[in-house]
Structure 1
Amino acid sequence: MMYLGALGASAATAAFFRHRSDTAGLHGPALLMSAGSALLPATTLPDRPLGRPTPRKA
């Protein structure tokens, strides 16, 4: 999974900084990270079984 994250980060960098890196180009990755940050809790919070621990067998 770590390699998929590295590939995604490198693809996003190549997409947002095609010709050169500048201050205006930083807004694209910032929006992408903001959307990802909002998406994680939105998909995790509705999952009810995550809040219950599994019972241990004696």
Structure 2
Amino acid sequence: MRLRAGNPVESTNLSFLPEEKKCAKQSFATHANAKRLLGVNERKEGERKKTELSLEIME
């Protein structure tokens, strides 16, 4: 299973690892992805709030 490159954990070739290590590494990559996506969503939410605030000030 190859995940998208970008995160060093994701781009690691896991074929040489024993099965239990593969699972741990893959779940760590998934967790890192989730945290990264969560950060992106939080930034978007923050930008939206700033925009709403600046619109209120203009009115």
Q: TM-score, normalised by structure 1?
A: 0.49
Q: TM-score, normalised by structure 2?
A: 0.48
